[in-house]
Amino acid sequence: MLLLVLDLLGIAVFAVSGALLAVRQRFDIVGVLVLATLTGLGGGWIRDVLIGVAPPTSLEDWRYLTVPVACGLVAFWFHPALERVDRPVIVFDAFGLGLFGVAGALKAAEHGAGPVAAAILGMVTCIGGGIIRDVLAGRAPVVLTTGELYAIPALAGSAVAAAGFEVGLPTVAVAIPAAALTIGWRLLAIWRGWKAPLPKSS
Amino acid sequence: MLLLVLDLLGIAVFAVSGALLAVRQRFDIVGVLVLATLTGLGGGWIRDVLIGVAPPTSLEDWRYLTVPVACGLVAFWFHPALERVDRPVIVFDAFGLGLFGVAGALKAAEHGAGPVAAAILGMVTCIGGGIIRDVLAGRAPVVLTTGELYAIPALAGSAVAAAGFEVGLPTVAVAIPAAALTIGWRLLAIWRGWKAPLPKSS
Amino acid sequence: MLLLVLDLLGIAVFAVSGALLAVRQRFDIVGVLVLATLTGLGGGWIRDVLIGVAPPTSLEDWRYLTVPVACGLVAFWFHPALERVDRPVIVFDAFGLGLFGVAGALKAAEHGAGPVAAAILGMVTCIGGGIIRDVLAGRAPVVLTTGELYAIPALAGSAVAAAGFEVGLPTVAVAIPAAALTIGWRLLAIWRGWKAPLPKSS
């Protein structure tokens, strides 16, 4: 139950980021709802397609579909207010990141992915939606270009979860420290201004 | 038989729009054919991947592959003439929209998707190809940004079809009114200039 | 064994092209590694998704994952040196093209794709990664716009391989001439400056 709430909260944060970008790029109502939905659920859909879960779980569950649509409608009407709540959103987003990565890695492992593939698919669950959002909005994918420490903490948590599953630890014992690693690393990176390296100019 | 002809006609209209955009963006012959094919068939491929039909049906059927390739070749050589037949194409496109959405929703439902997922997948069948086309051609997806009433009538028809399937009505009794809803709404929107709302500027 | 080495070499050449483009576009380390991996392996993942192989084979094999990651790291640190070795890379790339197309077509055929679908999926294996690379980097897909003879030789070799499989020839007897056709045509096209046609301006 708590997990479901956290999961939906993570989806909501992602969906709002998609909807706000769509509003800024002057998408219409369809574009805002589609971008909110793809940003919130797209990473999980890519993961489900790659592990052969068809149709993707969240496409079948009205609770998972309602959240991004509601977020999209709120953003469509109240975007000026939403643009002002950056700080708390960054913290929710870190929790969503931890949860998505670990849940994604464990789901992949349960469907037969090996530990390396499961770790990668956990990261894909986290960053897939944002990449779809940025491609459709016509900008360089934020998660690949800004040096923000985002995909790396997600991969770390996913890898811990996948490794724990591989050696047979109980899910809870694996999921909590794995998610904590992602969330802690991400929050520390924001707080201390840590960045991933950029290539040297040639 | 009639259904097949209508289906191929819908694909042809989509394929021509992809091929003409490719010509305008100075794609080469490969690009024109690839864009024609992805625009004509890509929405159905995304649907098939999401419901676990592999390989996608239209990738296995030479009739479905021949149409976009032929359209691409015609557009490659005769694009100045094709650019001039906008009006009739908009009507064919509305028929293709109704057909694609309903057929897509019913196919998804037959492969085990629930009614909500089936309705969404019907819409995906309609708009997926055009979104791929626009992303590859480097422009904002028309279906998400122009306020054209396109995805919404498609979703409405798909939803009716999916609901009818869910309650066990015979396919024909479901498909005809569902497609008529999409086609009628779309044609009315063009004729009366109805638009989907855009976000207010902040 | 030789096949595996050639396969990994082809992936490496693709991965380097993705990593160098990412460096030029000022992606961060995550972006460089993701683009290297998607360029090297993405075409095969699209093929695997379309034929229902989940998870994709190369996502489960650490040797296939190590190559693009290593290439990405090398490109991240030594890109000025790498930018200077264009000539030999073009030859390796032609070999990779021949190999990817034929192996992709045969894999698709073995998983139940008909000969036409298998030929197309062989070409998709070749050009899918490069298209993902260019879309994520925000440029027009090179393989669709430059008139380079690239996809056409790949499709020719894939078609020969798929046809040979269809009539029941042994794999080796099919694969070698099919790959030779792609590689020879590609190298001749580079050497003689052959191009695919572009549309006439209207």
Contacts of B52 in chain C (CB under 8 A): 52
Contacts of B158 in chain A (CB under 8 A): none
**Residue A202 pLDDT exceeds 70:** no
Instruction: Compute and round to an integer the Cα radius of gyration of chain B.
Output: 16
Interface with A, mutate which of B121, B145, B186, B200 (most A CBs under 10 A): B145
Query: C51 and B54: CB-CB below 8 Å?
Result: yes
Q: What percent of chain A has pLDDT over 70?
A: 97
Query: A120 and C65: CB-CB below 8 Å?
Result: yes
Q: What is the pLDDT of residue C202?
A: 59
Q: Which of A169-178, B71-80, C30-39 has the highest mean pLDDT?
A: C30-39
How close is the nearest chain B Cα to the Cα of A162, in Å? 25
Q: In this predicted model, which residue has the larger pLDDT, B1 or B110?
A: B110
**Residue A135 pLDDT exceeds 70:** yes
Q: Pick the residue from chain B with its C-alpha nearest to A33.
A: B144
Query: C199 and B60: CB-CB below 8 Å?
Result: no
Terminal alpha carbon distance of chain C: 52
Q: Pick the residue from chain C with its C-alpha nearest to B47.
A: C50
Contacts of A198 in chain C (CB under 8 A): 26-29
Query: B108 and A55: CB-CB below 8 Å?
Result: yes
Q: Which of residues 135-154 of B touch A (CB under 8 A)?
A: 135, 138-141, 143-148, 150-152
- Please answer whether residues C136 and A144 qualify as being in contact, where contact means their C-beta atoms are separated by less than 8 angstroms: yes
C74 touches chain B (CB under 8 A): no
- Closest Cβ opposite residue A152 in set C30, C76, C138: C30
What is the dihedral angle through the alpha carbons of C62, C63, C64, C69, rounded to the nearest 10 degrees?
Answer: 80
Distance of alpha carbon B113 from alpha carbon B120, whole angstroms: 10
What secondary structure does DSSP assign to B174-201, as a single string?
A: HHHHHHHHHHHHHHHHHHHT-B---PPP
Distance of alpha carbon C138 from alpha carbon C2, whole angstroms: 36
**Residue B116 pLDDT exceeds 70:** yes
Interface with A, mutate which of C28, C51, C57, C69 (most A CBs under 10 A): C28
What is the dihedral angle through the alpha carbons of C11, A109, A56, B137, rounded to the nearest 10 degrees?
Answer: -20
Q: What is the pLDDT of residue B105?
A: 96
Residue A1 CB partners (closer than 8 Å, separation 6+):
none
Would you place residue A29 in the very low, low, confident or very high pLDDT band (cuts 50, 70, 90)? very high
**Residue C86 pLDDT exceeds 70:** no
Cα angle: A131, vertex A133, A135; to 5 degrees: 70
Q: What percent of chain A has pLDDT over 90?
A: 81
Q: Exposure of A180 by Cβ count < 10 A (0-12 exposed, 13-18 middle, 19+ buried)?
A: middle
Number of residues that make up chain B: 202
**Residue C2 pLDDT exceeds 80:** no
Q: Exposure of C79 by Cβ count < 10 A (0-12 exposed, 13-18 middle, 19+ buried)?
A: buried
CA distances from A24 to B132, B201, C154 (A): 22, 9, 41
How close is the nearest chain C Cα to the Cα of B189, in Å? 32
Q: What is the pLDDT of residue B84?
A: 80
C67: Cα within 13 Å, side-chain hemisphere: 23
Q: What is the pLDDT of residue B91?
A: 82
Distance of alpha carbon A36 from alpha carbon A13, whole angstroms: 10
DSSP summary character for residue C89: H
Query: B50 and A52: CB-CB below 8 Å?
Result: no
Segment B156-165, tens digit of pLDDT = 999 999 999 9
Q: Which two tokens stand for residue A57?
A: 């779980």
Q: Pick the residue from chain A with its C-alpha nearest to B130.
A: A136
Q: Which two tokens stand for residue A184?
A: 């802690």
C79 touches chain A (CB under 8 A): yes
Q: What is the pLDDT of residue B5?
A: 81
Distance of alpha carbon A55 from alpha carbon A121, whole angstroms: 17
Asked casually if ipTM beats, i.e. exceeds, 0.90, the reply is yes
**Residue B46 pLDDT exceeds 70:** yes
C7: Cα within 13 Å, side-chain hemisphere: 18
Q: Which of residues 34-53 of B touch A (CB under 8 A)?
A: 49-52
Segment C55-74, tens digit of pLDDT = 999 999 989 999 999 999 99
Distance of alpha carbon A179 from alpha carbon C134, whole angstroms: 33
Residue C27 CB partners (closer than 8 Å, separation 6+):
A140, A144, A145, A198, A199, C35, C137
Q: Pick the residue from chain B with its C-alpha nearest to A20.
A: B199
Mean pLDDT, residues C98-109: 94
A202 touches chain C (CB under 8 A): yes
Q: Pick the residue from chain B with its C-alpha nearest to A38.
A: B124
Q: Pick the residue from chain C with its C-alpha nearest to B49.
A: C50
- Which has the closest alpha carbon to B33: C197, C183, C9, A37? C197
Backbone CA torsion sign across C79, C82, C84, C86:
negative
C66 touches chain B (CB under 8 A): no
Mean pLDDT, residues B106-131: 95
Q: Which of residues 7-26 of A touch B (CB under 8 A)?
A: 22-23, 25-26
Q: What is the pLDDT of residue C1?
A: 66
Q: Exposure of B147 by Cβ count < 10 A (0-12 exposed, 13-18 middle, 19+ buried)?
A: middle
DSSP summary character for residue C106: H
A110: Cα within 13 Å, side-chain hemisphere: 14
